Chain A
Amino acid sequence: MMTDLAPDIARWWDRIDEELGSLEANPEFEHDALRSNGLFDVYKVRMTSLGNYVIAAWLSVPKGDGPFPAIMYAPDYMSVVTPAPYEFRARAITLSVISRGQRGADKPYAAAFPGHLTVGITDPDTYIFRGVIADAIRSWEVLCDHPKVDTERMAIIGTDLGLLVNARRPGARAMHLKSSFWYRSLEIAAGSDAYPHEELNDHLRTWPEQRDAVTRTLAHLDPIHQADRVTAKVLIYREQASRVQSDTWFTPLTSRFATEPVFLDMTHFGQTDYDAVDAWLAAELGMPAFPRTWVAQDIGAWSV
């Protein structure tokens, strides 16, 4: 089925590119004095995305002339989006994408959680995530155009939705892939009753006759079809005992990347794992590491 679908999927992505290309982003940057300080300025951004939908983002720009490394936080599956963590805002330009349906971009469409994952899911052209992935791509374009961004030092943090952005708009030097979401999504759902993938189980339990259509739609977002376009160096959390985070799980995807991925074996001590990612990203982007265990030392050096 994958082989048969490949031309349809390619055309689907090309149409997204064409439609985005025909629309000006026209970003507007509103300075947020409350969230700005002596280290960085924060802006609320509004921009036009697919279907003339107005999406948003939190942009933070370090004080100074730049250029600065830049990091995009791809949309996670949740309603709330906040500015990037302080320690990243202190070192880099950060853009936290607020895609359609999330708070801050919820007019006219306010996403329900649960519910968002299956809106229009029986047809790839009506699926809500056709718009969401376009929103992430559009945000990346806006970030690239920012005059203080060092385009040689850009990164993405997020689920494999971020991989899709990199596949369609090369330029990121590095990406931290936090988890699979769209890669083999029905397999993730089949082995779990945890939300958000449980939404897929709910849908198929209620409308089993739609399984083929849902499978077809989800294939359009599966990064396996875009893997040979991924150019960023990708850091991946790995756990060999996990069904969905092992080498066996990832190899069909990662073996097609242009650059060998880097695997980080999870310790499950959250801050230890987080600091390891920070150190890797800092090295890739040429900025100082900022381990979060800093809170056990001295926050004064990073305060204003």
Chain B
Amino acid sequence: MQRGQPDQFVSSVTKPDDFDAFWNRVQAELDAIPLDPEMAHVPERSTPEVDVYEIHYTSLGGLRIAGWYCVPKAEYLEAPYPGLAILPGYVSEPTLPKSWAKLGYAAVGVAPRGKLRSNAQYNPGYPGLLLDRIVDEETYGYRGFYADAIRALDFMLTRPEIDASRIGVHGGSQGGALSLVTSALRPEIVKCGALAAPYLTGFMDSAALTHSYPYEEMNEYFHTYPERRDRVREVVSYFDCLNFAPRITAPLLIYIGLADDICPPETAFNLRDTLSCDVTFHSWPGSGHEAGVYWEMAKVEAFLAGHLQPATPRNTETDLPEEF
């Protein structure tokens, strides 16, 4: 495919007529499943400023989903805290968001199904997740995967130390996609989102524009099953962030690399042009999938702080009690 200016690319994504009904059914299924949140303190990972917990909750299909919850210690910073969901990339394992907690957020590192600690009942592998039962929207792996991310917001709502009126989302690549999905499906909760190089945006166009994984999984699949291309196009349209975009009301910061070989920049421009919320959009020439993070991270911190208003931690060297 000969490529032109990325901001001139015309998306091939269409929206299924029953897109909203499909996701309303998923939400109804989730509503019928008790969350059953659990938290276990992890002293080894905790610091004088931050308590770390391993969390679990129940999601679609009754799967127990894991995560990390990092929250400032009261001696370091008093509650309430803004909440921040840190959403994971495709191949990376969820981080412990201790650094965000140190900045004053109660932060959850989400581990949707298939990630380590959430893979006892579902483990499509990597490569694998992108294609897992991609022949039917009702069986596609991302149906549950998206639900698991949504449920992380429900977990945050159970925490008394979190101010439910100040919850944001943040992630890159797949984490960027999940930031969009959670913002779209729970607009009453998500107050802002900062995301890099959004994946799962223009699935079919992306596969045609790159040979890098994960989208290369789709090219491999079509090489083997060329007759399924049309059906797959239908299925992924239920999961495409371009179709979630119109539902998003929270302000977003989006940053991308114009030489991104993993998530083609064309699809990010399509996303930008589809959103109706307040969008700050930064594109970095010469940057790949890291999306200019070297310069962008300070902007992300400022954006999130501006919307979520974390308190300023005490000076740890002078104000902490002696036992620290």
CB distance from B264 to the nearest CB of A (A): 7
Query: Is residue B43 within 8 Å, beta carbon to beta carbon, of the partner chain?
Result: yes
The proximity string for A residues 95-116 relative to B, scoring 1 for CB distances below 8 Å and 0 otherwise, is: 0000000011000001011100
The proximity string for A residues 185-209 relative to B, scoring 1 for CB distances below 8 Å and 0 otherwise, is: 0000000011100100011011000
Give the bracket for the number of chain A residues in contact with chain B.
35 or more
Contact with B224, one of A34, A292, A295 (Cβ below 8 angstroms):
A34
CB distance from B284 to the nearest CB of A (A): 7
7 examples of A-B residue contacts, CB within 8 angstroms:
A79-B91, A86-B212, A87-B211, A110-B116, A268-B292, A271-B261, A271-B288
By a beta-carbon cutoff of 8 Å, the part of chain A in contact with chain B is 33-35, 37, 78-80, 82-83, 85-87, 103-104, 110, 112-114, 193-195, 198, 202-203, 205-206, 267-272, 274, 292-293, 295-300, 302-303
A293 and B93 CA atoms in complex are apart in Å by: 28
CB pair A82–B213 under 8 Å, yes or no, is yes
Please judge, given known A-B contacts A86-B216, A269-B285, A270-B289, whether A295 and B210 are in contact too, CB under 8 Å.
Answer: yes
Query: Is residue B75 within 8 Å, beta carbon to beta carbon, of the partner chain?
Result: no
Contact with A206, one of B43, B91, B221, B257 (Cβ below 8 angstroms):
B43
Give every chain B residue within 8 A of A193 (Cβ-Cβ).
47, 98-99, 102
Q: A270-B259, A270-B289, A295-B259 are in contact. List 8 more A-B contacts (CB 8 A).
A: A34-B220, A79-B116, A86-B216, A112-B117, A205-B47, A270-B286, A274-B288, A295-B209
Give every chain A residue within 8 A of B102 (Cβ-Cβ).
193
Give every chain A residue within 8 A of B99 (Cβ-Cβ).
193-194
Query: Is residue B44 within 8 Å, beta carbon to beta carbon, of the partner chain?
Result: yes
CB pair B125–A296 under 8 Å, yes or no, is no
Closest CB pairs A-B (n = 6)? A269-B286, A271-B288, A271-B259, A86-B211, A268-B294, A270-B288
Residue of B nearest to A199 (CB): B45
CB pair B91–A82 under 8 Å, yes or no, is yes
Please judge, given known A-B contacts A79-B93, A80-B126, whether A33 and B260 are in contact too, CB under 8 Å.
Answer: no
For residues 276 through 291 of chain B, which have their beta carbon under 8 Å from a beta carbon of chain A? 284-290
Please judge, given known A-B contacts A195-B96, A202-B45, A299-B211, whether A268 and B295 are in contact too, CB under 8 Å.
Answer: yes
